[in-house]
Amino acid sequence: MAEEFIKFWAELSNRYDSAIDNIMGEKIRPKIQEKLNEEDNLGNLLELGCGTGYFTETLANKSESIISTDISEEMLSIAMEKLKEFEFQVMDCQDLKFDEETFDTVFMGLVLLFTQPEKALKESCRVLKPGGLLIIVDPDISFLSFYGDLKFRFRALVNYRKIPTTSHFLNQEKIVDMLDKTGFEVFRKEIICDETNPNYVTANYIKAVTRK
């Protein structure tokens, strides 16, 4: 499965940001940035699925230290060109090369959609300190009309050519249930949306802590 995604992201890397905005709408990621700017004292932070580094600088400003990771070397090359002062590592979020209880915070941005979700969550729980914070931002198509859902899938096919067969379209309820099963306690959950166009994909913003 990893090879399928590595190839997928390699082909997408040069047009990733424009493709994401075309699918989710240009207003969603700036709104996510606003939510991240409300965070504080994130300590030693691990960013999973950093892509081209869209959220990296914001997260760095809210943490003591940050390591940003992605499965795609091509994505990281773009991120490193933009953000030369930060540390980036090629890594699969389902097989993290860190010791247990290393980080205060883990941020997963648009990750669960393209992983085995419970495996990625278990790895995040493993590397977090007791009571550590997990922040998840992931698409939620629950609030789309049927027409909007078709438009989403069409946009995805046009921009991404072909979505890997192992992709998971999760709603908030499913994510919360998986968090409970993998050692987390959810204390905040929101939906971020573009009120001007309901046919774009909404995003979950979920915060949870590891059970002590």
The DSSP call for residue 81 is: H
Reported as a single tens digit per residue, the pLDDT across 107-128 is: 999 888 878 999 999 999 999 9
**Percent residues over pLDDT 70 in the chain:** 73
Q: Cβ distance 172 to 190 under 8 Å?
A: no
Q: Which domains does the chain have, with CATH numbers?
A: 2-210 (3.40.50.150)
- Of 70-79, 135-144, 195-204, where does the model show the most confidence? 70-79
| 127 φ, ψ (degrees, to nearest 5) | -85, -10
Q: Cβ distance 108 to 27 under 8 Å?
A: no
